[in-house]
Amino acid sequence: MANYKRPGIFVDETLNPIITNEIPSGEFVAAFVGEHDYGPAAPTLIRNWADFISLFGGFGDGTHLLPFAVHQFFANGGRSCYIVRAVAADATAAEAVLKDRQSGEGVNPKEVLRLKVKAPGAFGNGIEVSVTDAGTGAGRFNLTFKIGGDTATGPQERFNDVSCDPTDVRNVVAMVNSPDTGSKFVEATYLGGTPWKGDKTPSVTVGQLLAGGADGTVQPDLSAAAELLEETNEVLNVNLPGISDAAIINPVIDWAERYGYAFLVVDTPELPDATPTETAVSKLKEMSPLSNTGTTPVPLRASSYAALYGPWVLTADAAVAAVGATRLLPPGGALMGQFAKFDVEYGPHRTPAGQEAALRSVYSTQFRFADSQLDELNQAGINVIRRVPNAGFCVMGGRTVKAGYPDRYVAVRRFLIHVRKLLVESTSYAVFQPNTPDLWASLAAIVTQRLTELTQAGQLKGNSPETAFRVVCDESNNTQQTVANGEVHIDVGIALTRPAEFIGIHIGQFEGGGTATESL
């Protein structure tokens, strides 16, 4: 408060900062959901393959497809992704209980600190805990977790000079359980009760293994695991590596539509190598609701929030050291890397397909189809990976599993998801603002600004804002009744671009008054 010393009128000035909203880049974040024998079960963001090794143990025993999909993702230009490790309902988490330092005749040490692995699984039985004296005062100690037991390459987590004292600034429970700087694997619970005393400190121990972790016997619920991604509040490309069962995929499609910010990349099934190509075409078409209108087998649900990709691809086997080793893998991991690359280089309005989407480290595909078979598969909404001369193995399709324009195209649906996120985040400041014409004008202005930016970036059809979009937020769609209901309505129309799916070249010859033509 100012200190006024003489009579008069005093004026000061306070300027509120202009509301700005960070513009989403348009890059979808990849997300992989699957089974694995190691690592966290909650959605976990990683930024490179080294992160996956540290948190999820790399390829493990090589029986699960999740790590191979993640490796292919980063090999094909991916930059970051969420991992959701699905676990069985009857899986249990390993734990250890440390006892305190009370001693003396007739005194039994009591439990003081429980350490429990955050995620269920037998991998937790390989985590070692050590307690040593910090040497900085009574009741202070160092706590170390060694992940992977006595292996030299396993990561370690150290919490030095900590205390069980709830009032201590270096309280061990707070530090271990911190979401930012705490343990990635273990959570702590204090069992010593109150009041705290110096002898309520864990006894010195070296290399004590956690125990009781089990993988369980029930099949993990992959659909429920995928829905955990909603807590990220990110715009997502989602893949369940190698999963083509409609009973699993259809609930995920339902969730993607409800969530509104997820697009599902679906792998077609792996088939025996001796399968004739005609049979392979039939099996792939059975997945698509555009070609299978029956119920045996059940196809995917018709939706523009999902797209089918196949066949499987032959790649270098990164899990073994043998030179020239190969492995047949579902294409989703490599495709998600190409999606990420296209988002960065062009934007979500571009179809991640064609010669620019050549898959890296792919030597062949499980099947090679004739032109007539490619016609069938494309009409069924199956995006086929095939060899393109002078380019490599590329995905040559950009359709969703929904018939009809405009959102039968992957690029259209993903762009609409991006626009939805962009406008929601740009207008979120308006909630609980006075519902007046000033607010309507403000909302119309900021939506117009965002759509103008998309137009200037070439992501909307039209050379000017007047031809690319329209925005209405005024008394025509905000009546006295809607205002009384606490509602604000913004009507937005956008001119969408569509991919050039078919290129027709028409060659004509004129010779001696005769004309011959040929269409390619």
pLDDT in tens, 91-138: 999 999 999 987 767 678 899 999 999 999 999 999 999 999 998 888
Residue 110 to residue 196: CA distance in whole angstroms: 13
Burial class (CB in 10 A: 0-12, 13-18, 19+), 415: buried
Residue 1 to residue 14: CA distance in whole angstroms: 13
- The mean per-residue pLDDT over the stretch 299-326 comes to 93
Task: Using the predicted structure, report yes or no on whether residue 20 has a pLDDT greater than 50.
Answer: no
Q: Is the Cβ–Cβ distance between 183 and 176 less than 8 Å?
A: yes
Q: Is the Cβ–Cβ distance between 237 and 338 less than 8 Å?
A: no
Q: Is 209 helix (H, G, I), strand (E, B) or coil?
A: strand
**CATH class of the domain comprising 29-86+220-411:** alpha beta
Residue of 520 and 384 predicted with greater confidence: 384
Sheet holding 362-365, edge to edge: 326-329, 313-316, 362-365
- The mean per-residue pLDDT over the stretch 429-442 comes to 94
Q: 252-277, pLDDT tens digit by residue?
A: 999 999 999 999 999 999 999 889 99
CA 473 to the chain's CA centroid: 34
Is omega for the bond preceding 311 within 30 degrees of 0, making it cis?
yes
CA 488 to the chain's CA centroid: 32
pLDDT confidence bin for 512, thresholds 50/70/90: low
Q: Is 403 helix (H, G, I), strand (E, B) or coil?
A: coil
Task: Using the predicted structure, report yes or no on whether residue 44 has a pLDDT greater than 50.
Answer: yes
Residue 312 to residue 69: CA distance in whole angstroms: 12
Task: Using the predicted structure, report yes or no on whether residue 446 has a pLDDT greater than 50.
Answer: yes
Token pair in block for residue 243:
């999963």
CA 252 to the chain's CA centroid: 13
Look up tokens 């490790």; give the residue.
85
- The mean per-residue pLDDT over the stretch 442-458 comes to 93
Q: Where are the domains of the chain?
A: 29-86+220-411, 95-209, 433-520
Look up tokens 């000061």; give the residue.
12
CB-based contacts of 220, cutoff 8 Å, min separation 6: 35, 86, 87, 88, 89
Residue 307 to residue 166: CA distance in whole angstroms: 52
User: What are the two backbone dihedrals, phi and then psi, of residue 220, each rounded to the nearest 5 degrees?
Assistant: -60, 145
Q: Parallel, antiparallel, or unpaired: how do β-strands 111-117 and 95-99 relate? A: antiparallel
Look up tokens 């009591």; give the residue.
110
User: What are the two backbone dihedrals, phi and then psi, of residue 515, each rounded to the nearest 5 degrees?
Assistant: -130, 130
pTM of the model: 0.89
Look up tokens 């429980």; give the residue.
114
Amino acid identity of 86?
A
Burial class (CB in 10 A: 0-12, 13-18, 19+), 248: middle
What is the structure's pLDDT at 304?
96
Amino acid identity of 220?
P
Residue 113 to residue 176: CA distance in whole angstroms: 12
Mean pLDDT of the chain: 90
pLDDT confidence bin for 248, thresholds 50/70/90: very high
Whole-angstrom distance between the N-terminal and C-terminal Cα of the chain?
Answer: 81
What is the structure's pLDDT at 376?
96
Q: Is the Cβ–Cβ distance between 215 and 108 less than 8 Å?
A: no
User: What are the two backbone dihedrals, phi and then psi, of residue 324, each rounded to the nearest 5 degrees?
Assistant: 85, 0
User: What are the two backbone dihedrals, phi and then psi, of residue 224, each rounded to the nearest 5 degrees?
Assistant: -65, -35
What is the structure's pLDDT at 270?
93
Helix axes 332-345, 66-75, angle to 10 degrees: 30
pLDDT confidence bin for 16, thresholds 50/70/90: very low
- CB neighbours (10 Å) of residue 322? 7
Residue 357 to residue 339: CA distance in whole angstroms: 9
